[in-house]
Structure 1
Amino acid sequence: MQILLLVVGLMLAAVLLVGVGDRLRLPWPALMVVIGVLVALVPGLPDMFTLEPDLILPLFLPPLLFATAQRTSWAVFRARWRSIALLAVALVVVTVAAVAGTATLLIPGIALTAAVALGAMVAPPDPVAVEAVAGTVRIPRRLLSVLQSEGLFNDATALVVFQAAVLATVSRDELSPAGLGLRFVAGALGAVLIGLAVAWLAQSVLARLTDTTGRSALTLVLPFATYLAADELGASGVIAVVVLALQLRRNADADEAAERLTQTSIWNVVELLVTGIAFGLIGLDLRQVLIDAGDDLPRMLGHAVVVCAVVIVVRAAWMTMAWRVVRRGSDSSAAPRTGREAVLLTWCGMRGLATLALALSLPLTTADGTPFPGRTEIVLIAVSVLFTTLLIPGFTLPLLVRALGVDAEADAEKQAEKMIVLRARRAAVATMEFEQQVQGVPDDVATGMRERMKRLEGVLSGEPASEDDRQRLATLRRTRERVNTAQAAALSAARAEVLAARREPGVDPQAVDRVLRRLDLRTVLLD
């Protein structure tokens, strides 16, 4: 009963903190961590919640990864594969090496493999943390897209390094860089195949399901099933779930307006509640870490400060190098293009669920029964890096964005959404004229409908409907079936054009999704 009360309490706190965060202009996930810390530090509080470390990633990562990946597209990854490789693989490896070297100098008696395991814990910025914190701040979509792309794949690199390092520590073997590389490539390729296979199977099943509730329920189960299947087969569950989400989004039917609205609402609720529970648990787990440290806490915290500085400096140096390379190129979508963008991308390297789960999953002993070298200090350092990179940027990011002036570009990016709106309107008007001839729509009715399709620009831009528009809508609903058919065809053409734009390089998927949602709402209202 205590566990149930805690989970319900965390969900309720998440719902309330969303409103508080909006009013204070602060990211509510960071507030959720603070609430968890305050609860954990209450004197005399019994241990209410103990979650197996092996369950943290399978329970929380699949739905949150799936929800985040649905906001991007294959076109984005094709356009930014170099950035993904440099950030999700190369930067993770460099961070692991820097942290491992620092740990061997600081922690007495720690094995090199254990130090590598620590580096793998703290190396990957978390996609859930980035989306939950940075996504609420007015930063350019181009930069947020880079952060999301990095976060969706870097966990796979870190997990491979971590598992190999822990296995080598427990068995007292040596790490093989060549073996690590081969394992990562094999796991990534296997995950891509699994993600594509599950997506194909899911689409076959969805084609035979006519009930919207059942179809939506299937999409809730798929991320968990895909993650577990990939994990059992030795592939990357992270990459498999991301590939599944991208493929399902790519093959979405333009005419599934009602279902798309339903699933979007469901996933918004799921993402809110799961994120709230996850970030609340991050704060609650601080209690046990402090208890385990005991009298050595001051010394360990000193080491943690050094490792935190190393993690931040490595990312800052990497982003500075990337800026110097990008500014010489001609790719307008690359980042960082300025020193201010490099500072912002450095500040947004937030750690989260993956760091917590890997820290808690460290074994207590090695194969011969001796204690895992430096386990308590490793866990404390990992949690310290998590709190430093999550809470400090979380509460200061709005101020930093305003100070750097990069929020001005966020306003300019609305022009991209306007271009998508214009494409949808042109497709609707052209189809309306064709349908007038095919369906034999009377000239007076067709004229009114053409005018309505032309007014899609204002509707899709989010402008409120006027009283005249509402009256015209009522009139259209009373017209004959052939008018409805023509109108549905026009809106279908608009949706198809918008989805086609989503697959094109350089198009912001979230701008497309906003326009598509308004089109879907319009279609449902007309139906």
Structure 2
Amino acid sequence: MDQLALIVGLLLATVVAVGLGDRLRLPYPVLMLLLAAALTFIPGFPDLEIEPGLILPIFLPPLLFATAQRSSWAVFRVRWRTLIMLAVALVVISTAVVAGAAWLMVPGIGVPAAIALGAMVAPPDPVAVDSVAGRVHMPRRLISVLQSEGLFNDAAAIVIFQAAVAAAVGGTKVGPDVVLQFLLGAALAVLVGVAMGWLIALVTRLVTSMVARSAVTLVVPFAAYILAEEVHASGVIAVVVTALEMQRHARPQDAAERVTRNAFWDVVELLVTGLAFGLVGLEIRRVIRDEGSGIFGMIGVSALVCVLVFAVRFLWMGVLALGARKRKNLLQPTSLKEVLILTWCGMRGLATLALALALPLTLADGTPFPGRDYLLVIACAVLLATLVLPGLTLPWLMRVLKASEDGTAERDAVRLLAARAQAAAVAALKQHDLMTDLPPEKVTLVKERMQRLRAELTDGSLRNEPLAEKRRRGRELAIAVQTIALDAARQEVVAARNEPDMDPEVADRVLRQLDLRTMVMPE
């Protein structure tokens, strides 16, 4: 009962942290971490016992799925170079640098254990980045870079970590077969994700209950992750591919389902994120408590590893910025200002904690895992340094660098897409002969409705005409006009979402307004 009460308490604390974060203009995951860590100082405060091997399967699938739903295949076709350089190359380089430092400075640690530490602290957390970047009005292009990195870097880190731990336990070396293992696991994961996407498309066609179709999206991330792990593939990549495939199969006519599902996933993402970072706070405090005074002897090495993590990321982002200037690649940092921002946003989170807790206690011969306590302390130090410090100071950094956007670019993109939706709606009405067969006063009415539709999509408001006005203008005509126009507009936006130069979040914003407008239509 204590465990259940603690989980419920963390969920309630998440709601409080969200409200407090809105007032203080701070990211609620960071506040949740600090709050949970502070609670453990209360005498008799219970520990939350979760099997380390279950942390990733419980928390990672829904959080990755929620983030991946905001992207599209077309975007990844454009960002493939950024994806490789950040989600794979940077993880490998960070792992190598941290492993080398740990091998030199941590007494009694072997190369495999050092590599395991490097893999633990290498991948930034996309959930933490999303929660922080949106509050400081970071340019959409930089958010896109961070999202691309965060969706796949866990996969590379997990493969390296598993190979290193297996080598440490078995007394072998980490060989080049890790690369082959990663490639095969990624390929199998893509197949699993495509299959799950096809299955959900089939369920959408066969199941008539809108609630059931929305509920199945909660099951799918876990199913994709578990199935991929069972066939020794990457569960992370399988979940991301599943989300992308579901978006690719999205039907324009499912307006009510999209509104319901989006609201449902907003709640799920908020609570799971709060619970996950609450768990991080509890575990950090537990590590500090278990190590006692011995932790002071580990501070020097932990601080140096934290510095190395920031330094490697800064240098690598600088290299990408130099390459972007030559190639004019807008999906990479292009200035020192952007390099600083992207470096400061390399926040570690759930994956770092889960991998740290997944370290085995003993080797195959029964001896203790080399330097396990030391590795846990270093991992927690990196987590705190990269999450709490940037999370609390990023708004200040954005003000100093004058890097925040006022939203003009995004509003312009919404206006352009709204204009396309309006043009598609008018074209559909002409195709149905509604414009040519109507009397002049009705044609004027239709044009007014189309102008109003464009305004609604642009500013996000839903203006409903008075009931008497609707009756006067003709109920049947209004329904026919709006049905045809909104269907055509949604079709245009759904198609635009899969274009390489279209920001998926801009398309989702316009599509949401169309869906809401459809739901308030008279019946």
Q: So what's the TM-score if we normalise by structure 2?
A: 0.96
Match of 2:342 among 341, 345, 348: 345
- Assess, with a 3 A threshold, how the Cα gap between structure 1 residues 435 and 447 changes in structure 2: closer, same or farther: farther
Taking the aligned partners of 1:394 and 1:287, their CA distance within structure 2 comes to 19
Q: How far 1:250 moved relative to its partner?
A: 1.4
SS in 1 for 2:520: helix
Taking the aligned partners of 2:283 and 2:468, their CA distance within structure 1 comes to 58
What amino acid maps onto 1:248 in structure 2? M
**Where do 1:421-460 residues align within 5 Å?**
421-437=418-434, 440-460=437-457
Q: How far 1:466 moved relative to its partner?
A: 5.7
Taking the aligned partners of 2:268 and 2:247, their CA distance within structure 1 comes to 18
Partner of 1:518: 513
**Where do 1:20-99 residues align within 5 Å?**
20-42=20-42, 44-99=43-98
- Contact 1:319/1:345 (<8 A) preserved: yes
Taking the aligned partners of 1:49 and 1:141, their CA distance within structure 2 comes to 37
Deviations 1:11-49 (A, max 9, x none): 11111221211111111111001101101233x334431
Deviates more, 1:516-525 or 1:283-292: 283-292
Deviates more, 1:92-101 or 1:283-292: 283-292
Match of 2:218 among 217, 220, 223: 220
SS in 2 for 1:176: coil
- Contact 1:261/1:517 (<8 A) preserved: yes
Q: How far 1:506 moved relative to its partner?
A: 1.7
Taking the aligned partners of 1:61 and 1:477, their CA distance within structure 2 comes to 52
Deviations 1:396-444 (A, max 9, x none): 1111112111213643332112111111111112212322349955553
Deviates more, 1:428-437 or 1:184-193: 428-437
Of all paired residues, the percent bearing the same amino acid is 52
SS in 2 for 1:349: coil
Q: Does 1:484 align with 2:479?
A: yes
Match of 2:390 among 356, 379, 393: 393
Taking the aligned partners of 2:143 and 2:123, their CA distance within structure 1 comes to 16
Partner of 1:283: 281
Q: How far 1:129 moved relative to its partner?
A: 1.5
Partner of 1:261: 259
Partner of 1:146: 145
What amino acid maps onto 1:184 in structure 2? F
- Contact 1:312/1:346 (<8 A) preserved: yes
Taking the aligned partners of 1:478 and 1:358, their CA distance within structure 2 comes to 63
- Contact 1:477/1:526 (<8 A) preserved: no
Taking the aligned partners of 2:314 and 2:472, their CA distance within structure 1 comes to 58
- Contact 2:411/2:458 (<8 A) preserved: no
- Contact 1:461/1:515 (<8 A) preserved: yes
- Contact 1:436/1:446 (<8 A) preserved: no
What amino acid maps onto 1:150 in structure 2? E
- Contact 2:421/2:493 (<8 A) preserved: yes
Deviates more, 1:490-499 or 1:427-436: 427-436
SS in 2 for 1:408: coil
Which segments of 5 or more consecutive residues in structure 2 lack a partner in the other structure? Answer: none
- Contact 2:435/2:443 (<8 A) preserved: no
**Where do 1:182-261 residues align within 5 Å?**
182-261=180-259
Deviations 1:125-173 (A, max 9, x none): 0112212222332101110011011000000000000000000000100
- Assess, with a 3 A threshold, how the Cα gap between structure 1 residues 488 and 347 changes in structure 2: closer, same or farther: same
Taking the aligned partners of 2:31 and 2:179, their CA distance within structure 1 comes to 38
What amino acid maps onto 2:22 in structure 1? D
Partner of 1:5: 5
Q: How far 1:335 moved relative to its partner?
A: 1.9
Taking the aligned partners of 1:475 and 1:304, their CA distance within structure 2 comes to 71
Taking the aligned partners of 1:156 and 1:464, their CA distance within structure 2 comes to 40
RMSD over aligned Cα atoms:
1.7
Deviates more, 1:399-408 or 1:482-491: 482-491
Deviates more, 1:136-145 or 1:96-105: 136-145
Taking the aligned partners of 1:396 and 1:347, their CA distance within structure 2 comes to 9
- Contact 1:21/1:27 (<8 A) preserved: yes
- Contact 1:14/1:32 (<8 A) preserved: yes
Q: How far 1:90 moved relative to its partner?
A: 0.4
Taking the aligned partners of 2:483 and 2:290, their CA distance within structure 1 comes to 64
Q: How far 1:291 moved relative to its partner?
A: 2.9
Taking the aligned partners of 2:482 and 2:100, their CA distance within structure 1 comes to 66
Partner of 1:474: 470
Which segments of 5 or more consecutive residues in structure 1 lack a partner in the other structure? Answer: none
Q: Does 1:298 align with 2:296?
A: yes
- Contact 1:191/1:230 (<8 A) preserved: yes
Taking the aligned partners of 2:12 and 2:71, their CA distance within structure 1 comes to 29
What amino acid maps onto 2:419 in structure 1? L
Taking the aligned partners of 1:158 and 1:425, their CA distance within structure 2 comes to 46
- Contact 2:460/2:513 (<8 A) preserved: no
Aligned residues: 522
Deviates more, 1:15-24 or 1:61-70: 15-24
Partner of 1:124: 123
- Contact 1:191/1:240 (<8 A) preserved: yes
- Contact 1:320/1:339 (<8 A) preserved: yes
What amino acid maps onto 2:223 in structure 1? A
Partner of 1:497: 492
Taking the aligned partners of 1:389 and 1:316, their CA distance within structure 2 comes to 13
Q: How far 1:487 moved relative to its partner?
A: 2.4
Partner of 2:359: 362
SS in 1 for 2:328: coil
Taking the aligned partners of 2:355 and 2:70, their CA distance within structure 1 comes to 26
- Contact 2:6/2:46 (<8 A) preserved: no
Taking the aligned partners of 1:272 and 1:223, their CA distance within structure 2 comes to 16
Q: How far 1:369 moved relative to its partner?
A: 0.3
- Assess, with a 3 A threshold, how the Cα gap between structure 1 residues 472 and 450 changes in structure 2: closer, same or farther: farther
What amino acid maps onto 1:49 in structure 2? L
Partner of 1:165: 164
Deviations 1:447-505 (A, max 9, x none): 312221122221111264567x445873389522x652342111111111111111111
Taking the aligned partners of 2:258 and 2:277, their CA distance within structure 1 comes to 28
- Contact 1:432/1:487 (<8 A) preserved: no
